[in-house]
Structures are given as C-alpha cells and as structure tokens.
Amino acid sequence: MKQYTALIMMILLCAVVAQAQETQQANKPIAGTAITNSVGMKFVLIPAGTFTMGTEEKQAVYDNEVPSHTVTISKPYYMGVYEVTQDQWEAVMDSNPSYRKCGNCPVETVSYYDVLAFIKALNEKEETTRYRLPTEAEWEYACRAGSKGAFCFGDDEDLLYRYAWFMDDEKEGPQPVGRKRANTWGLYDMHGNVWEWVQDWYAEDYYENSPEADPTGPVDGTYRIFRGGSWLISAAGCRCARRVFIAPGGAALDYLGVRLVYEAQ
C-alpha cells in the first residue's frame, strides 16, 4: 500500500513539474514577437546569441572598429522596429525639437541628455522602467541580424539603396521610417536615415579589453557613441561596425536620432 501511495505521489509530482515547465515556456517571449506601446512605438523581440563584433584588421575603415571580437548577448530584448518618430516624441514630450519637421520621420536634433529625458518621461507614461537605450553591442547585434558582412545583407555596397537612405540618394534630410527594406529580424533603417544614440561611453581601445558577455562600454568617458549612418553620409559610414562619438551634451544635429530597447521580462 505504501509503495502504491508513493508511486501515485511521484506521478502527481511529475505532472505538477511538467505543467509548471509548460506554463513557463508558454509565458516565455518568442523571438520575432512584436509589441506596440501606447504611443505607437513597435518593438520586436531579438533572440539571445553570439556574434562577431567590429571589423577585421584588413577590412577596417577606421581604427576604432578593430579588433573584431566575439560577443555574447545573453538575454533576449525588444528592439524598436523603427527609429523614434517626431510624432511619437511629441506624444510624450509635448514638443518636437526636429529641425526638419515631418511627423513620421525620425526625431532628430536631440542630444544624449534630451534622449534620457524622453526615456524617463516614456517610462513614467507607460508606468514601467523597461525602456532604455541599447548598448553598443546590442545595437550592432540587432543591425547585423546574423550577417557577417559589412551590412545586414552582406558586403555588396551597391545593394545598400534597398535598405537605407544615405548620401547617394537624391532626397535630402531624414525620410519617413520604414520605407526601405527591413533586415532579417524585421528592423527598418538600421542603416542610414539618421544616426542613433546608444548607451555606451566611447574609448578608442575598448574593443581590445571588452568582456565577451554583454559588454556595456567603459565605466566613464568624455563622449557617447552613435551608430548606423545617416542620409548625409556615404555607404562606408552606414556599415554595421561603424562607430562615431560626440559629447553627450554637444550640439544637437539634424542627422542624429534614436531607437529604443524595451527590456524583456
């Protein structure tokens, strides 16, 4: 009788554990899952993974892109499908700082500190603390979307016009978001349109000492980094590995905007 009771208890325990695992799996976000917030900002889940960040020595255009190094992003996160638009910024901040006004174009002429104020206000509006800037590593990982080439689609610079607004286009200024092709993970305008602020401080030799898992940049510095290229720069400046920096409170520029991360639970 005792053996029978023990067997029943074991079967019940296994059933409970299996149900708990099934529930946990069901609640776990799936890569590619999209969410939209109250001001229309859409985010897509980027899976955890490992990639090669930076550029090989022989391919580098700028010294701060080397050495190429292995980076692991240990947790999935939601990345903005589009750059933050002027309409979305105004919905949160009740103002539009952009030099070139266009509601569905990316917000621009914003400093790093302007962006921090926007994130704070957005978190308060959404009653959360999960909005933030991407780290430089998260940004490049999302931009590449599995690509090992110079761009999200490979190395053929002649194909960039399909994915990016950049200097070779006839149009001047930022363009409405999402008009070009998305990368493999469904992100638009990762190349071109406007540069995008990231979280990290800048140090020219950081890649030589960067930790492999979830690097967040130097602990302090003078400059902050922005990524991705813009409508005002050549194809070389729009590559996945290109790094540019400026003082965080410096002059706001009409080719510099932002894309946000929403942390996955």
Written as six digits, the tokens of 199 are 């979280």
Nearest in space to 160 (alpha carbons), one of 180, 175, 184: 180
Structure tokens at 129: 């603390």
| Judgement on whether residues 39 and 23 belong to the same structural domain of the protein | no
Q: Which domain holds residue 116?
A: 31-263
Q: What pLDDT was estimated at residue 28?
A: 54
Q: What is the average pLDDT score of the chain? A: 90
Pairing relation of β-strands 69-73 and 49-53?
A: antiparallel
Segment 203-232, tens digit of pLDDT: 999 999 999 999 999 999 999 999 999 999
Please list the alpha-helical segments (H only) found in the chain.
2-27, 86-93, 112-126, 136-144, 206-209
CA distance linking residue 80 with residue 42, whole number of Å: 6
Domain of 180: which CATH number? 3.90.1580.10
25/76 same-domain check: no
- Split at pLDDT 50, 70, 90, the class of 22 is very low
pLDDT computed for residue 24 by the predictor: 37
Q: Does the pLDDT of residue 259 top 50, yes or no?
A: yes
What is the mean pLDDT of the segment spanning 64-68?
Answer: 95
- Omega cis (within 30) before 29: no
Q: Read off the pLDDT of each residue in 227-239 and give the average, rounded to a whole number.
A: 96
At 49 the pLDDT is 98
What confidence tier does 250 reach under pLDDT thresholds 50, 70, 90? confident
- Residue 236, pLDDT > 80, answer yes
Question: How many distinct structural domains can be found in the chain?
Answer: 2
Instruction: Please tell me whether residues 122 and 19 are part of one structural domain.
Output: no
Residues 112, 189, single domain; the answer is: yes
Are 79 and 198 in contact, with CB atoms under 8 Å apart? no
% of the chain surpassing 70 pLDDT:
89
Instruction: Give yes or no: residues 49 and 120 share one domain.
Output: yes
Answer yes or no: do 114 and 179 share one domain: yes
- pLDDT at residue 132 above 50? yes
DSSP string, 221-236: -S-EEEES--TTS-GG
Query: Is residue 23 domain-shared with residue 97, that is, in the same domain?
Result: no
Beta strand 261-263 pairing with 77-80: antiparallel
- The answer to whether the CB of 214 falls within 8 A of the CB of 137 is yes
Mean pLDDT of 94-108: 97
**Residue 23 has what pLDDT?**
33
| Comparison of pLDDT for 134 and 61, the residue scoring more | 134
Same domain, 50 and 154: yes
The reply to whether the predicted model has a pTM over 0.75 is yes
pLDDT at 176: 98
Q: What is the rounded average pLDDT of the residues 188-199?
A: 98
Which of the pair, 250 or 24, is modelled with greater confidence?
250
Q: Are residues 116 and 241 in the same domain?
A: yes
More confident residue, 200 or 57: 200
Cα–Cα distance, 36 to 81 (Å, whole number): 10
215 and 163 part of one domain = yes
Asked if pLDDT for residue 34 goes beyond 90, the answer is yes
Whether 63 and 16 share a structural domain: no
Q: What is the reported pLDDT for 27?
A: 46
Quote the Cα angle for 108-233-170, to 5°: 90
Residue range 224-242: mean pLDDT, rounded: 97
Structure tokens at 60: 């580098």
Tell me: pLDDT of 21 over 60. Answer: no
Distance, CA of 37 to CA of 40 (rounded, Å):
5
Q: What is the DSSP string of 184-210?
A: TTS-B-SSSSSEEEEEEE--TTHHHH-
Residue 225 shares a structural domain with residue 254: yes
Q: What percent of the chain has pLDDT over 90?
A: 82
User: Which alpha helices (H) appear in 35-85, and where do they start and end?
Assistant: none
Provide the greatest CA pair distance for the chain.
85
